[in-house]
Amino acid sequence: MDAVEKANTERQRRWVKDKKVGEGTYAVVYQGREASTGRKVAIKKIKVGQFKDGLDMSAIREVKYLRELKHENVIELLDVFSSKTNLNLVLEFLDSDLEMIVKDRALVFLPADIKSWMAMTFRGLEFCHRNFVLHRDLKPNNLLIASNGVLKIADFGLARDYADPGYKMTCQVITRWYRPPELLFGSRYYSSAVDIWSVGCIFAELMLRIPYLPGESDMDQLKTIFRALGTPTEEEWPGHTKLPDYVPVGQFPKPAMRDLFTAASADTLNLLSKCLIYEPRKRITAREALTHPYFFALPYPTFPSKLPKCSNQFSARPLEEVDGNVEMNASGPGVKARSLKRKLTPDEVEDRRSIARRLDFSKHTPGS
Protein backbone atom coordinates (compact mmCIF):
# COMPACT_ATOMS: atom_id res chain seq x y z
CA MET A 1 0.00 0.00 0.00
CA ASP A 2 1.21 3.51 -0.71
CA ALA A 3 2.43 5.60 2.18
CA VAL A 4 -0.37 8.09 1.64
CA GLU A 5 -3.07 5.43 1.70
CA LYS A 6 -1.46 3.88 4.74
CA ALA A 7 -1.51 7.18 6.58
CA ASN A 8 -5.18 7.54 5.68
CA THR A 9 -5.97 4.08 7.04
CA GLU A 10 -4.15 4.92 10.25
CA ARG A 11 -6.23 8.05 10.64
CA GLN A 12 -9.37 6.08 10.01
CA ARG A 13 -8.44 3.63 12.76
CA ARG A 14 -8.11 6.44 15.27
CA TRP A 15 -11.86 6.98 15.23
CA VAL A 16 -14.77 4.66 15.97
CA LYS A 17 -18.32 5.24 14.77
CA ASP A 18 -20.94 4.34 17.35
CA LYS A 19 -24.37 5.36 16.13
CA LYS A 20 -26.13 7.58 13.69
CA VAL A 21 -27.30 10.86 15.22
CA GLY A 22 -28.46 12.91 12.30
CA GLU A 23 -28.72 13.39 8.61
CA GLY A 24 -28.06 16.59 6.68
CA THR A 25 -28.59 17.43 3.05
CA TYR A 26 -25.41 15.79 1.89
CA ALA A 27 -24.10 13.88 4.87
CA VAL A 28 -24.87 11.38 7.58
CA VAL A 29 -23.64 12.26 11.05
CA TYR A 30 -22.54 9.68 13.59
CA GLN A 31 -21.64 9.87 17.20
CA GLY A 32 -18.26 8.28 17.69
CA ARG A 33 -15.15 8.39 19.79
CA GLU A 34 -11.40 8.55 19.62
CA ALA A 35 -10.25 4.95 19.99
CA SER A 36 -7.33 5.71 22.28
CA THR A 37 -8.96 8.19 24.66
CA GLY A 38 -12.68 7.55 24.39
CA ARG A 39 -13.22 11.23 23.64
CA LYS A 40 -16.68 11.73 22.16
CA VAL A 41 -16.73 13.07 18.59
CA ALA A 42 -19.13 13.56 15.71
CA ILE A 43 -18.21 11.94 12.39
CA LYS A 44 -19.80 13.54 9.38
CA LYS A 45 -19.75 11.13 6.49
CA ILE A 46 -20.18 12.59 3.05
CA LYS A 47 -20.94 10.16 0.26
CA VAL A 48 -18.83 11.33 -2.64
CA GLY A 49 -19.74 8.55 -5.04
CA GLN A 50 -23.07 10.19 -5.77
CA PHE A 51 -21.55 13.39 -7.16
CA LYS A 52 -20.62 13.29 -10.81
CA ASP A 53 -18.15 16.10 -10.32
CA GLY A 54 -16.23 14.34 -7.56
CA LEU A 55 -15.81 15.93 -4.13
CA ASP A 56 -18.67 18.36 -3.89
CA MET A 57 -18.35 22.03 -3.15
CA SER A 58 -20.01 21.98 0.26
CA ALA A 59 -17.62 19.34 1.50
CA ILE A 60 -14.65 21.13 0.02
CA ARG A 61 -15.62 24.45 1.59
CA GLU A 62 -16.27 22.91 4.95
CA VAL A 63 -12.90 21.15 4.97
CA LYS A 64 -11.00 24.09 3.54
CA TYR A 65 -12.19 26.60 6.12
CA LEU A 66 -12.42 24.41 9.18
CA ARG A 67 -8.86 23.20 8.59
CA GLU A 68 -7.67 26.78 9.00
CA LEU A 69 -10.06 28.27 11.54
CA LYS A 70 -9.33 27.36 15.15
CA HIS A 71 -11.35 29.36 17.65
CA GLU A 72 -13.30 28.72 20.83
CA ASN A 73 -16.52 29.72 19.05
CA VAL A 74 -16.00 27.86 15.79
CA ILE A 75 -16.61 24.12 15.62
CA GLU A 76 -13.34 22.23 15.68
CA LEU A 77 -12.43 19.88 12.85
CA LEU A 78 -10.28 17.22 14.46
CA ASP A 79 -9.44 15.05 11.50
CA VAL A 80 -10.35 14.17 7.93
CA PHE A 81 -10.07 10.81 6.27
CA SER A 82 -11.59 8.98 3.35
CA SER A 83 -13.07 5.52 3.26
CA LYS A 84 -14.05 3.90 -0.02
CA THR A 85 -16.10 6.59 -1.70
CA ASN A 86 -16.82 8.55 1.45
CA LEU A 87 -15.22 11.57 2.96
CA ASN A 88 -15.30 11.65 6.75
CA LEU A 89 -14.98 14.78 8.85
CA VAL A 90 -14.25 14.22 12.51
CA LEU A 91 -15.76 17.12 14.47
CA GLU A 92 -15.94 17.91 18.13
CA PHE A 93 -19.19 16.52 19.46
CA LEU A 94 -21.80 19.13 20.29
CA ASP A 95 -24.98 18.36 22.18
CA SER A 96 -27.56 20.64 20.65
CA ASP A 97 -28.12 23.74 18.57
CA LEU A 98 -29.64 27.13 19.20
CA GLU A 99 -32.75 26.26 17.20
CA MET A 100 -33.59 23.43 19.58
CA ILE A 101 -33.02 25.74 22.51
CA VAL A 102 -35.20 28.48 21.06
CA LYS A 103 -37.98 25.98 20.36
CA ASP A 104 -37.80 24.28 23.74
CA ARG A 105 -40.80 25.90 25.39
CA ALA A 106 -39.71 24.57 28.75
CA LEU A 107 -36.71 26.87 28.74
CA VAL A 108 -36.81 30.45 29.91
CA PHE A 109 -34.26 32.94 28.61
CA LEU A 110 -32.99 35.78 30.73
CA PRO A 111 -31.60 38.89 29.02
CA ALA A 112 -28.18 37.85 30.33
CA ASP A 113 -28.49 34.49 28.56
CA ILE A 114 -29.25 36.12 25.24
CA LYS A 115 -26.31 38.45 25.76
CA SER A 116 -24.06 35.49 26.34
CA TRP A 117 -25.15 33.69 23.14
CA MET A 118 -24.78 36.91 21.17
CA ALA A 119 -21.30 37.54 22.55
CA MET A 120 -20.16 34.05 21.59
CA THR A 121 -21.71 34.35 18.13
CA PHE A 122 -20.02 37.69 17.48
CA ARG A 123 -16.69 36.41 18.79
CA GLY A 124 -16.75 33.42 16.47
CA LEU A 125 -17.93 35.54 13.56
CA GLU A 126 -15.35 38.27 14.18
CA PHE A 127 -12.70 35.58 13.94
CA CYS A 128 -14.11 34.28 10.64
CA HIS A 129 -14.30 37.78 9.18
CA ARG A 130 -10.82 38.61 10.43
CA ASN A 131 -9.69 35.60 8.40
CA PHE A 132 -11.63 36.88 5.40
CA VAL A 133 -14.15 34.07 5.58
CA LEU A 134 -17.86 34.73 5.02
CA HIS A 135 -20.12 32.11 6.55
CA ARG A 136 -23.18 32.83 4.41
CA ASP A 137 -25.54 30.46 6.21
CA LEU A 138 -25.94 31.72 9.75
CA LYS A 139 -29.15 30.59 11.44
CA PRO A 140 -29.97 29.16 14.85
CA ASN A 141 -29.65 25.61 13.54
CA ASN A 142 -26.03 26.23 12.56
CA LEU A 143 -25.02 27.59 15.95
CA LEU A 144 -24.21 24.46 17.91
CA ILE A 145 -23.95 24.25 21.66
CA ALA A 146 -21.33 22.21 23.52
CA SER A 147 -22.11 20.34 26.73
CA ASN A 148 -20.47 23.15 28.72
CA GLY A 149 -22.78 25.68 27.08
CA VAL A 150 -20.21 27.19 24.72
CA LEU A 151 -21.65 28.19 21.36
CA LYS A 152 -19.82 27.20 18.18
CA ILE A 153 -20.46 28.35 14.63
CA ALA A 154 -20.84 25.28 12.42
CA ASP A 155 -21.78 24.23 8.90
CA PHE A 156 -19.28 26.00 6.65
CA GLY A 157 -20.70 24.35 3.53
CA LEU A 158 -21.56 27.71 1.99
CA ALA A 159 -18.58 29.70 3.25
CA ARG A 160 -16.15 31.50 0.97
CA ASP A 161 -13.33 33.95 1.28
CA TYR A 162 -13.52 37.53 0.23
CA ALA A 163 -9.95 38.71 0.16
CA ASP A 164 -10.75 40.39 -3.15
CA PRO A 165 -13.24 43.14 -2.50
CA GLY A 166 -15.31 43.80 -5.57
CA TYR A 167 -15.27 40.17 -6.61
CA LYS A 168 -18.53 38.92 -8.04
CA MET A 169 -20.27 36.31 -5.87
CA THR A 170 -23.49 34.37 -6.02
CA CYS A 171 -26.52 35.85 -4.28
CA GLN A 172 -28.11 32.42 -3.81
CA VAL A 173 -26.87 31.99 -0.27
CA ILE A 174 -28.23 32.16 3.27
CA THR A 175 -31.50 30.53 4.31
CA ARG A 176 -34.30 32.91 3.34
CA TRP A 177 -35.44 34.14 6.75
CA TYR A 178 -31.89 35.22 7.61
CA ARG A 179 -31.03 36.62 4.17
CA PRO A 180 -30.27 40.35 3.97
CA PRO A 181 -32.13 42.65 1.55
CA GLU A 182 -29.06 43.26 -0.64
CA LEU A 183 -28.98 39.56 -1.51
CA LEU A 184 -32.72 39.48 -2.10
CA PHE A 185 -32.17 42.34 -4.57
CA GLY A 186 -29.53 40.24 -6.32
CA SER A 187 -26.40 42.12 -5.24
CA ARG A 188 -23.28 40.26 -6.38
CA TYR A 189 -20.71 42.40 -4.59
CA TYR A 190 -21.53 41.91 -0.96
CA SER A 191 -19.43 41.69 2.15
CA SER A 192 -19.25 40.40 5.68
CA ALA A 193 -22.30 42.58 6.35
CA VAL A 194 -24.49 39.74 5.02
CA ASP A 195 -23.56 37.62 8.03
CA ILE A 196 -24.29 40.50 10.39
CA TRP A 197 -27.85 40.75 9.09
CA SER A 198 -28.32 37.05 9.84
CA VAL A 199 -27.00 37.57 13.36
CA GLY A 200 -29.48 40.42 13.79
CA CYS A 201 -32.32 38.06 12.84
CA ILE A 202 -31.04 35.48 15.31
CA PHE A 203 -30.76 38.14 18.03
CA ALA A 204 -34.41 39.09 17.47
CA GLU A 205 -35.44 35.44 17.40
CA LEU A 206 -33.82 34.84 20.78
CA MET A 207 -35.99 37.57 22.25
CA LEU A 208 -39.20 36.67 20.42
CA ARG A 209 -38.76 32.89 20.56
CA ILE A 210 -40.09 32.68 17.01
CA PRO A 211 -38.38 33.54 13.70
CA TYR A 212 -38.36 37.32 13.31
CA LEU A 213 -38.73 37.66 9.53
CA PRO A 214 -40.36 34.46 8.24
CA GLY A 215 -41.04 35.24 4.59
CA GLU A 216 -42.89 32.64 2.57
CA SER A 217 -41.04 33.24 -0.69
CA ASP A 218 -38.15 35.43 -1.79
CA MET A 219 -40.58 38.16 -2.79
CA ASP A 220 -42.55 37.82 0.41
CA GLN A 221 -39.27 37.95 2.33
CA LEU A 222 -38.66 41.52 1.18
CA LYS A 223 -42.19 42.46 2.10
CA THR A 224 -41.79 40.85 5.51
CA ILE A 225 -38.58 42.79 6.09
CA PHE A 226 -40.07 46.10 4.98
CA ARG A 227 -43.17 45.55 7.06
CA ALA A 228 -41.00 45.04 10.13
CA LEU A 229 -38.41 47.73 9.47
CA GLY A 230 -40.06 50.13 7.05
CA THR A 231 -39.40 50.42 3.31
CA PRO A 232 -35.89 51.84 2.82
CA THR A 233 -35.60 55.31 1.34
CA GLU A 234 -32.97 56.34 -1.19
CA GLU A 235 -31.34 58.37 1.55
CA GLU A 236 -31.22 55.44 3.95
CA TRP A 237 -29.80 53.08 1.36
CA PRO A 238 -28.37 54.94 -1.61
CA GLY A 239 -28.45 53.07 -4.89
CA HIS A 240 -30.53 50.10 -3.79
CA THR A 241 -33.07 50.67 -6.55
CA LYS A 242 -30.26 50.08 -9.06
CA LEU A 243 -29.50 46.55 -7.79
CA PRO A 244 -29.98 43.77 -10.40
CA ASP A 245 -33.16 42.25 -9.04
CA TYR A 246 -34.67 45.38 -7.54
CA VAL A 247 -38.46 45.44 -7.55
CA PRO A 248 -40.66 47.85 -5.62
CA VAL A 249 -42.63 45.83 -3.10
CA GLY A 250 -44.72 48.57 -1.57
CA GLN A 251 -44.33 51.39 0.88
CA PHE A 252 -44.39 50.43 4.54
CA PRO A 253 -43.92 52.88 7.40
CA LYS A 254 -41.11 52.33 9.87
CA PRO A 255 -42.64 50.98 13.08
CA ALA A 256 -40.87 51.58 16.37
CA MET A 257 -38.86 48.49 17.31
CA ARG A 258 -39.86 49.03 20.89
CA ASP A 259 -43.45 48.08 19.98
CA LEU A 260 -42.39 44.54 19.23
CA PHE A 261 -39.50 44.13 21.67
CA THR A 262 -41.34 45.58 24.61
CA ALA A 263 -39.04 44.49 27.37
CA ALA A 264 -35.70 45.08 25.65
CA SER A 265 -33.26 47.62 27.04
CA ALA A 266 -32.19 50.63 24.99
CA ASP A 267 -28.72 49.12 24.46
CA THR A 268 -30.27 45.92 23.21
CA LEU A 269 -32.44 47.70 20.67
CA ASN A 270 -29.55 49.90 19.61
CA LEU A 271 -27.32 46.93 18.79
CA LEU A 272 -30.16 45.03 17.15
CA SER A 273 -31.06 47.93 14.89
CA LYS A 274 -27.38 48.39 13.93
CA CYS A 275 -27.29 44.77 12.76
CA LEU A 276 -30.36 45.42 10.64
CA ILE A 277 -29.29 48.65 8.92
CA TYR A 278 -30.29 48.54 5.25
CA GLU A 279 -27.15 50.09 3.79
CA PRO A 280 -24.63 47.21 4.12
CA ARG A 281 -21.69 49.58 4.53
CA LYS A 282 -23.30 51.25 7.51
CA ARG A 283 -24.24 47.99 9.20
CA ILE A 284 -22.21 47.30 12.31
CA THR A 285 -19.20 44.96 11.94
CA ALA A 286 -18.54 42.00 14.20
CA ARG A 287 -15.56 43.79 15.67
CA GLU A 288 -17.54 46.93 16.44
CA ALA A 289 -20.37 44.88 17.87
CA LEU A 290 -18.03 43.33 20.41
CA THR A 291 -17.30 46.75 21.88
CA HIS A 292 -20.93 47.87 21.80
CA PRO A 293 -22.19 49.20 25.17
CA TYR A 294 -24.75 46.36 25.21
CA PHE A 295 -22.02 43.91 26.15
CA PHE A 296 -20.68 46.06 28.97
CA ALA A 297 -23.97 47.06 30.54
CA LEU A 298 -25.75 45.11 33.24
CA PRO A 299 -26.79 42.36 33.30
CA TYR A 300 -23.48 40.75 32.39
CA PRO A 301 -23.56 37.79 30.02
CA THR A 302 -24.40 34.48 31.66
CA PHE A 303 -21.46 32.14 32.09
CA PRO A 304 -21.78 29.45 29.35
CA SER A 305 -22.18 26.52 31.73
CA LYS A 306 -25.09 28.32 33.42
CA LEU A 307 -27.03 28.89 30.19
CA PRO A 308 -30.40 27.22 29.59
CA LYS A 309 -29.80 23.80 28.14
CA CYS A 310 -31.90 21.39 26.14
CA SER A 311 -32.32 18.16 27.94
CA ASN A 312 -33.09 16.45 24.66
CA GLN A 313 -29.76 16.38 22.90
CA PHE A 314 -28.90 15.26 19.38
CA SER A 315 -27.67 11.93 20.64
CA ALA A 316 -30.63 11.35 22.91
CA ARG A 317 -33.23 12.16 20.32
CA PRO A 318 -34.79 9.08 18.78
CA LEU A 319 -34.57 8.81 15.04
CA GLU A 320 -37.83 7.91 13.37
CA GLU A 321 -37.11 4.23 13.23
CA VAL A 322 -38.16 1.57 10.75
CA ASP A 323 -39.92 -0.78 13.13
CA GLY A 324 -40.95 -3.04 10.30
CA ASN A 325 -43.73 -0.73 9.19
CA VAL A 326 -41.83 0.48 6.18
CA GLU A 327 -43.25 -0.61 2.85
CA MET A 328 -41.34 -3.40 1.24
CA ASN A 329 -40.69 -1.43 -1.91
CA ALA A 330 -39.78 1.74 -0.07
CA SER A 331 -36.05 1.38 -0.26
CA GLY A 332 -33.35 3.64 -1.63
CA PRO A 333 -31.52 6.64 -0.35
CA GLY A 334 -34.30 9.12 -1.09
CA VAL A 335 -36.71 7.46 1.27
CA LYS A 336 -34.04 6.88 3.81
CA ALA A 337 -33.04 10.49 3.89
CA ARG A 338 -36.59 11.59 4.46
CA SER A 339 -37.66 9.00 6.94
CA LEU A 340 -34.55 9.47 8.99
CA LYS A 341 -35.07 13.15 9.63
CA ARG A 342 -35.24 13.32 13.36
CA LYS A 343 -38.46 14.46 14.90
CA LEU A 344 -39.73 14.68 18.41
CA THR A 345 -43.34 14.23 19.30
CA PRO A 346 -44.75 17.03 21.47
CA ASP A 347 -45.04 14.55 24.33
CA GLU A 348 -41.37 13.82 24.25
CA VAL A 349 -40.54 17.49 24.30
CA GLU A 350 -42.74 17.80 27.33
CA ASP A 351 -41.11 14.84 29.07
CA ARG A 352 -37.65 16.08 28.55
CA ARG A 353 -38.16 19.62 29.68
CA SER A 354 -35.66 20.90 32.10
CA ILE A 355 -37.07 21.10 35.57
CA ALA A 356 -34.22 23.23 36.81
CA ARG A 357 -34.92 26.08 34.46
CA ARG A 358 -38.52 26.25 35.52
CA LEU A 359 -37.35 27.64 38.81
CA ASP A 360 -36.21 30.72 36.97
CA PHE A 361 -39.74 31.60 36.02
CA SER A 362 -40.04 33.94 38.95
CA LYS A 363 -37.18 36.12 37.69
CA HIS A 364 -38.31 36.03 34.12
CA THR A 365 -39.07 39.17 32.18
CA PRO A 366 -41.42 38.11 29.40
CA GLY A 367 -40.27 38.85 25.89
CA SER A 368 -36.95 40.32 26.95
Q: Binding site annotation covers 35?
A: no
Smaller CB separation from Mg ion, 142 or 191: 142
Q: Is there a catalytic annotation at residue 137?
A: yes
Smaller CB separation from Mg ion, 88 or 142: 142
Smaller CB separation from ligand ATP, 29 or 243: 29
Number of residues that bind ligand ATP (CB under 6 A): 17
**Phi, psi torsion values for 77, nearest 5 degrees:** -90, 115
Q: Binding site annotation covers 28?
A: yes
Q: Which stretch binds Mg ion (CB under 5 A): 149-157, 209-217, 272-280, 328-336?
A: 149-157
Q: Is 342 left (phi over 0), alpha (psi -120 to 50) or beta?
A: beta
Q: How long is the chain?
A: 368
User: What does 130 bind: Mg ion, another protein, ligand ATP, none (CB cut-off 5 to 8 Å by kind)?
Assistant: another protein
Q: Binding site annotation covers 27?
A: yes
Distance (Å, whole) CA 248 – CA 234? 12
Does residue 35 belong to the site contacting another protein (CB under 8 A)?
no
Distance (Å, whole) CA 120 – CA 328? 48
CA distances for 170 relative to 128, 159, 188, 189, angstroms: 19, 11, 6, 9
Smaller CB separation from ligand ATP, 95 or 243: 95
Residue 339 burial (C-beta neighbours within 10 Å; 0-12, 13-18, 19+): middle
Q: Binding site annotation covers 349?
A: no
Among 27, 63, 74, 276, the residue binding ligand ATP under the rule CB under 6 A is: 27
Task: Work out the angle between the directed axes of helices 193-208 and 266-275 (0-180°, nearest 10).
Answer: 140
Does residue 298 belong to the site contacting another protein (CB under 8 A)?
no
**Phi, psi torsion values for 153, nearest 5 degrees:** -75, 130
Q: Name the active-site residue from 97, 113, 137, 155.
A: 137
**Phi, psi torsion values for 78, nearest 5 degrees:** -90, -30
Does residue 53 belong to the site contacting another protein (CB under 8 A)?
yes
Distance (Å, whole) CA 268 – CA 275? 11
Q: Binding site annotation covers 21?
A: yes
* Sign, Cα dihedral of 170, 57, 317, 360: negative
Does residue 320 belong to the site contacting another protein (CB under 8 A)?
no
Among 155, 182, 195, 205, the residue binding Mg ion under the rule CB under 5 A is: 155
Contact letters for another protein, residues 75-94 (x by CB under 8 A):
-----xxxxx-x--------
With H, G, I as helix, E, B as strand and everything else as coil, classify residue 37: coil
Q: Which stretch binds another protein (CB under 8 A): 156-164, 171-179, 224-232, 352-360?
A: 156-164
Q: Binding site annotation covers 29?
A: yes
Q: Which stretch binds another protein (CB under 8 A): 137-145, 236-244, 257-265, 321-329?
A: 321-329
Among 63, 94, 128, 171, the residue binding ligand ATP under the rule CB under 6 A is: 94
Give the chain's count of helices (H) and strands (E). 13, 10
Does residue 205 belong to the site contacting Mg ion (CB under 5 A)?
no
Q: Which stretch binds another protein (CB under 8 A): 65-73, 201-209, 347-355, 360-368?
A: 65-73
How is 340-362 classified by DSSP, letter by letter? TS----HHHHHHT--HHHHGGGG
Q: Which residues are catalytic?
A: 137
